Amino acid sequence: MPLQTASTHINRISLSGVSIDGASINGVSIPMLLDWWQHRKRSANRRSNLHRPLLKGDEHYLRSYYRLMEVYSVVKSGGVKAQIEAVKAFSKRELALLDQQLAQIAGDAALNDLEKQQARKKINQELVELEAANNWRLQALTAIDPAEEALVKKHLPAIESTLMSVQCA
pLDDT in single tens digits along all 169 residues of the chain: 444 444 444 333 332 333 334 456 766 688 888 888 888 777 766 655 555 555 666 777 888 888 999 999 999 999 999 999 999 999 999 999 999 999 999 999 999 999 999 999 999 999 999 999 999 999 999 999 999 999 999 999 999 988 887 554 4
With beta carbons less than 8 A apart as the criterion, state whether 37 and 162 touch.
Answer: yes
Angstrom distance (rounded) from CA 105 to CA 66: 44
Helices (H), the chain: 6-9, 30-47, 58-76, 80-107, 113-142, 146-154, 156-165
Q: What is the pTM of this model?
A: 0.71
Phi, psi of 110 (to 5 degrees): -75, -15
Tell me the C-alpha distance between 61 and 80, whole Å.
23
